[in-house]
Structure 1
Amino acid sequence: MTADHPPQPAPDGAASPARRGRRAVVLVAAVLVLITGAAAYAVRATAPAPVADRSFDTTAPGRLLLRSDGRIAAVPLSNPAAAPTIGSASCDRFSTANGTTLCLVARPGTPPTTSALILDRTLKETRRVGLAGVPSRARMSASGRMASWTVFVTGDSYNQGGFSTWSGLLDTRTGYLITNMEDIPLTLNGRRYHSEDVNYWGVTFASDDNRFYATVSTKGRTYLVEGDYGAWQARTLRENAECPSLSPDGTRLVFKKRLSSGEWRLHALDLATMRETPLAERASIDDQVAWLDAGTVMYAKGGDLWSARADGTGVPSLLAKRASSPSAPS
């Protein structure tokens, strides 16, 4: 069943005493990423800025929502290569569904931080959550109720100076917030698991707004986990499956799998049989895909937006140039 909030974690993502002793400081590398982005923006700013459509509505039918030149935008589903209609919101990552949008905005500084903005159908801000770190992933549930994000942070005592991740959840109906889900009780290979190096990222929601899937890493390994929001617990399903995305019918996940070469390849997983199928995309894809329809996924590659069949057949297709963070219409 769908609960209004999980019973175990404290509000606003309060962590255990051990974890409260750690507060993230973002790497200098992350600062350089933001500086590079700012420099690129300064170059683009010499060209006339696109004029935002004041009637922009994320629920308008027949459109694909995406990020174009840093702004939330829309293109016709019948012609994704068309010039985009630009909205008023600028995001580094975003996801939208059923009239609710999650927009992650990087805030340069020392250390950099992130603002997670909840926007209505006209992109008007309704809530703001301050986060540590640099934006990485954003995902809304199909109903528009549940929002999840992942940010890159560092400084955790276990992390030895490298990046770690914090993933949060927000129930937009009740307002219940968890800024870091790393304390969710985890069962790994059938046994209750405890470790200071647990990290989660890449959440995807089922249609009931209760079941979710995500990646967890610990001891140098990554696992696909299935979570229960109401019961506030998670269990591993298999190893080496990152950034999952659940199909609209809830039967399949598409994820990125790390190969021995260090590259990631997109695979589909049948949840009933646990059989995996490689997709036709042969490039290394570092993205959490979104579903365009029941049989097709979308993802960022080389600065553009591409699609591929989720059954492994066909060939990848270019959807839109200079685009990312796609969301199919509800």
Structure 2
Amino acid sequence: MTLRSRVLILVSALAVLAGVAAASVLHASARADRRDQARPGGPRITSGRLALTGGGLRVVFRNMAWGPHRDELVSVPAADPSGPRTASGVKCLRFHAASGTGVCLRAVHGPVQDTYRAVILDARLRERAHYDVPGVPSRARVSPSGRFAAWTAFVGGDSYAGTAFSTRAAIVDTRTGRLTPSLEAYRIVKDGRPYRAADVNFWGVTFAADDRTFYATMATRGSTYLVRGDLRARTLTTLHANVECPSLSPDGTRIAYKKRVQGAPEDAPWHLYVLELRTGRETALAEPRSVDDQLVWRDARTLVYALPGDYGADLYTVPADGTGTAHRLTGAALSPAYVD
């Protein structure tokens, strides 16, 4: 047998072994995926069509369960949040939607490091536009009309719990494409006076129904504030201290948020509250655990939020008036949006 024949036989054998190894890995991965989805209490997930309008009231969220649909947007009926999930094939790290418009914050995997992108989606989850995000995605919101979308990213540090972090909050007009890359471009009015500081950070935008007013968190000199923004005047005005990740109620009268409380651990410092905008009255909610999330109003009476779970995050609900108790809504889920 010639040397050339031996080399060809060796190469062929190595190719066969590589193919067998790859098939074994894929088979084991598929078995693991099926096993994860078949765990007691685990969600049942099937591929299908997903739209942000029509089909009755549903919840769309990021699926956190391990398997072939990990990180995809999935949909379930609002009346059966733990029921079978329909997976869209669209992957997001953070998501929100309203009136047939969605915003999807996703990773773009590169050869050296990941970058991030905000993608504006239409009602059928098709990309309408995309924008670079300067850091790790954190929060996302769409205005009730669907005209405006906002997102927040960490550009330094990776947690709201401490003080060594920096954020960038952006707003885009989905109709015109006009982007405000950072709310730091807005004029700030603090305690009735113009305010400027190098350490200002903003995050957690939430929109009113008038396509002009929004609210957000401003941090400066070790304190946080609820600010009211004006999209036309490009101003931000402080309203209330110690407010983080605000979420405006459907009727525009209340803000749900997380508040730092004295005596809490440094890595779990928050309690959930609701603020009445007209009176400034705060109501503590019946969730005893620290929550690091921007809440979503399911309706005028109920709030939804994420807490750590076996797959990364689970969704919980709590009454917005301070009564009752918190309840687990569904597991392996993050970034919910209620669509109809």
Superposition TM-score tier, normalisation by shorter sequence: 0.7 to 0.9
Residue equivalent to 2:33? 47
AA aligned to 2:241 is E
Partner of 1:249, secondary structure, is: coil
Residue equivalent to 1:305? 315
Gaps of 5+ in 2: 1-27, 38-44, 65-70, 158-162
Assess, with a 3 A threshold, how the Cα gap between structure 1 residues 190 and 44 changes in structure 2: closer, same or farther.
farther
Residues of 2 paired with 1:286 and 1:181: CA distance?
Answer: 22
Residues of 2 paired with 1:294 and 1:329: CA distance?
Answer: 15
Structure 1, residues 211-246: CA drift from partner, whole Å, max 9, x if none?
Answer: 000000011111110011111101100110000000
Aligned length: 283
Residues of 2 paired with 1:312 and 1:65: CA distance?
Answer: 26
Residues of 1 paired with 2:271 and 2:141: CA distance?
Answer: 21
Residue equivalent to 1:9? none
Residues of 1 paired with 2:46 and 2:92: CA distance?
Answer: 16
Residues of 2 paired with 1:306 and 1:280: CA distance?
Answer: 12
Cα offset, 1:108, TM superposition: 4.7
Do residues 66 (structure 1) and 72 (structure 2) align? no
Residue equivalent to 1:103? 104
Residue equivalent to 1:8? none
Q: TM-score, normalised by structure 2?
A: 0.79
Residue equivalent to 1:189? 191
AA aligned to 1:217 is A
Residue equivalent to 2:272? 266
Cα offset, 1:98, TM superposition: 1.0
Contact 1:112 1:133 in 2 (8 A): no
Residue equivalent to 2:288? 282
Partner of 1:274, secondary structure, is: coil
Cα offset, 1:266, TM superposition: 0.5
Residues of 2 paired with 1:45 and 1:206: CA distance?
Answer: 47
Cα offset, 1:163, TM superposition: 2.3
Assess, with a 3 A threshold, how the Cα gap between structure 1 residues 273 and 43 changes in structure 2: closer, same or farther.
farther
Assess, with a 3 A threshold, how the Cα gap between structure 1 residues 282 and 63 changes in structure 2: closer, same or farther.
same
Contact 1:141 1:206 in 2 (8 A): yes
Contact 1:94 1:101 in 2 (8 A): yes
C-alpha root-mean-square deviation of aligned residues, in Å?
2.0
Highest relative contact order (Cα 8 Å, sep 6+), 1 or 2? 1
Cα offset, 1:62, TM superposition: 2.2
Residue equivalent to 1:36? none
AA aligned to 1:59 is T
Assess, with a 3 A threshold, how the Cα gap between structure 1 residues 225 and 111 changes in structure 2: closer, same or farther.
farther
Cα offset, 1:119, TM superposition: 0.8
Residue equivalent to 1:295? 301
Q: Which runs of 4+ in 1 moved over 2 A?
A: 42-46, 48-52, 106-113
1:1-330 alignment to 2 at 5 Å?
Answer: 46-47=32-33, 51-53=46-48, 55-60=49-54, 61-69=56-64, 70-108=71-109, 112-154=114-156, 162-260=164-262, 261=264, 262=266, 263-302=269-308, 303-330=313-340
Contact 1:88 1:123 in 2 (8 A): no
Assess, with a 3 A threshold, how the Cα gap between structure 1 residues 204 and 196 changes in structure 2: closer, same or farther.
same
Partner of 2:183, secondary structure, is: coil
AA aligned to 2:221 is K
Contact 2:57 2:338 in 1 (8 A): no
Residue equivalent to 1:15? none
Cα offset, 1:183, TM superposition: 2.1
Residues of 2 paired with 1:145 and 1:46: CA distance?
Answer: 42
AA aligned to 2:63 is S
Cα offset, 1:45, TM superposition: 9.6
Cα offset, 1:106, TM superposition: 2.2
Cα offset, 1:111, TM superposition: 5.8
Q: TM-score, normalised by structure 1?
A: 0.82
Partner of 2:144, secondary structure, is: coil
Residues of 1 paired with 2:256 and 2:304: CA distance?
Answer: 10
Contact 1:186 1:193 in 2 (8 A): yes
Residue equivalent to 2:12? none
Cα offset, 1:59, TM superposition: 1.2
Identity %: 45
Residues of 2 paired with 1:45 and 1:91: CA distance?
Answer: 24
Cα offset, 1:57, TM superposition: 1.1
Contact 1:136 1:150 in 2 (8 A): yes
Contact 1:198 1:217 in 2 (8 A): yes
